[in-house]
Homo-oligomer: A and B are copies of this chain.
Amino acid sequence: MDLDLIRQLTIPGDTKIVLAVVDGLGGLEHPETGRSELEAASTNNLDRLAQDSSCGLTMPVGYGITPGSGPGHLALFGYDPLRYLVGRGVLEALGIDFDLQPQDVAARGNFCTLDGQGRIVDRRAGRLATEQNVALCEKLRQIELPGVQLFVEPVREHRFVLVLRPNGSGDLSDKISETDPQREGASPLAAQPLADDAKPTADLVNTFIDRARAQINGSKPANGLTLRGFAKQPKIPSFPETFVLRAGAIAAYPMYRGLAKLVGMTVLPTGSTYDDEIATLRDCWDDFDFFFIHYKYADSAGEDGNFDAKMAALEAFDKAVPNLQELGADVLMIAGDHSTPAAMAGHSWHPVPFLLRAKYIRRDDVDAFNERACLRGALGTFPTSEVMPLAMAHAGRFTKYGA
C-alpha cells in the first residue's frame, strides 16, 4: 500500500501489535517423507494458534523472486521492496552493528589471493581465518585519504566492510562500479564512476585500493582485495511516523537491529537467545505500541541445508509461542521474511506461512501452521508489504476510506 495512503488512514490508538518474524520460515518437502520442515516438526502451539487465527501465505517481492534479508524485512515493515532497496555495503555494515551515518558510503570487501601478475587465484583467499582478517584490517586502517574518514571493519573469514565518511560538509557518491571481476584468473577492476558527480569518490576508492595493496603486499594467503556493493543508507520514510506507532525492535542478530534502525524503530538492548528477546519484550511492553521480534535459527539451519536442524529450530520457536501469546497483544502475527528450504540450502521465492490473531478475524479451515494448510487460509496468498496494513486494520488504527 502506498505510504501516503497509510498516513491518510492511520489514526492513533492504544492497541498493541506484535510482529514475530521467524527468519526463513517457509520450507519445502523432504524428498523422502514428502513433508516440509513445518509439517514434520511438532509445533502444537503454532497449530493451535493457527486454528484461532486468520492464515495465509505472504509473497515478499514477487512471483519467482528470492529476496535477501533486506527486501524480506522491509516488506514486512510495510515498504515496497522494489522501491526501497538497502545496498549490500549498507547491509554488511548493519550486520556488524556499525553506526552508519546518512552521508557514509559503505562497501563490502573481500580479501583475495593474487598471483605475481596481480590476477586473482582465490576470490576468498581460502576463507582465511578471521584473526588474519582482523590483522589485515588493522593494517588498512593506517591509510589516510584527503577529505574523508576511513573505517575498515572485519566481518569474518575473508569479508570486511569499508566505510568512507566525508569530513565537514563533504559529499560522497555511491554510484561506483564494483572492483570484483567475479571470476578467478582476472585482475581486480578499477572502480569507475557511474554518475557524473561520482568521479571524486571513485578516485578516492582507487587511491585506497592502491595503498591497501601496498600495505598487504606479501601477506599470505590474502594479498589483495575487492570491493562491491557501494551504497549509502536509503532514504526510507520513518516507520513510527508513517504508522503513528511507538515501535520497538528486538533482535539478537545485528543485521536485523540495523534494518529496524534504518526505518526508525527503537532498537531495544537484548541478550543472545530468544528467551532473552522475549524477556525484553515483556520488560518493554508498556513503552511501545508495536514490537518487531526476530528469531534467526530457522534460517541458519535452512541455509546449512540441515532439515533436522531446521525442524528443531521451529520446534524451539514453537515452545516460545505461549510466552508471546500471554502478553495479550491486540494483534499477534507470526511471519517470515522469506522461505529458506533446507532442500535448497538457501533463500527461496516460495510464499511464506503467515498467521494473524486478533479480535475481528475472518475464520478459515486452517488447522495447522504450515505451507500446505495455509493455502486454505482466509488471507490467501498476498504481498508481504500488506502485512502492516492488515495489522493496522485489526488493531483499530485505520479509519474508513471515503464517505
> B403 contacts A88, CB within 8 Å?
yes
Report if A401-B28 is in contact (Cβ < 8 Å); known contacts: A360-B344, A375-B378, A392-B64: no
**Which of A61, A67, A401 has the most B CB atoms < 10 Å from its CB?**
A401
* Binary B-proximity of A358-396 (CB < 8 A = 1, otherwise 0): 001111110000011001101011100010011111100
> B343 contacts A360, CB within 8 Å?
yes
A19 CB within 8 Å of chain B: no
A188 CB within 8 Å of chain B: no
Distance, CA A347 to CA B400, complexed state (A): 8
> B62 contacts A386, CB within 8 Å?
yes
A132 CB within 8 Å of chain B: no
* Binary B-proximity of A65-81 (CB < 8 A = 1, otherwise 0): 11111110000000001
Oligomeric state, in copies: 2
> B376 contacts A348, CB within 8 Å?
no
Residue numbers in B under 8 Å from A229 (CB-CB): 403
Q: Could you tell me the distance in whole angstroms from the C-beta of A299 to the nearest C-beta in chain B?
A: 14
Residue numbers in B under 8 Å from A363 (CB-CB): 29, 34, 371-372
Question: Which among B28, B62, B92, B375 is the interface contact of A1 at CB below 8 angstroms?
Answer: B62
> B344 contacts A398, CB within 8 Å?
no
A123 CB within 8 Å of chain B: no
A135 CB within 8 Å of chain B: no
The total of chain A residues at the interface (CB under 8 A) is 61
> B360 contacts A364, CB within 8 Å?
no
> B1 contacts A63, CB within 8 Å?
yes
CB nearest to A385 among chain B residues: B63
Residue numbers in B under 8 Å from A67 (CB-CB): 400-402
A262 CB within 8 Å of chain B: no
A87 CB within 8 Å of chain B: yes
Distance, CA A82 to CA B382, complexed state (A): 19
Distance, CA A146 to CA B377, complexed state (A): 60
Residue numbers in B under 8 Å from A393 (CB-CB): 63-66, 349
A252 CB within 8 Å of chain B: no
Residue numbers in B under 8 Å from A365 (CB-CB): 372, 375
Q: Could you tell me the distance in whole angstroms from the C-beta of A3 to the nearest C-beta in chain B?
A: 13
5 pairs of A and B residues whose beta carbons are closest in the complex? A64-B393, A64-B389, A63-B386, A88-B403, A68-B402
Please report A residues at the B interface, Cβ cutoff 8 Å. 1, 5, 9, 28-29, 34, 61-71, 81-82, 85-88, 91-92, 229, 341, 343-344, 347-351, 360-365, 371-372, 375-376, 378, 380-382, 386, 389-394, 398-403
4 further contact pairs, Cβ within 8 A, besides A63-B390, A64-B394, A351-B362: A28-B361, A61-B401, A64-B389, A350-B362
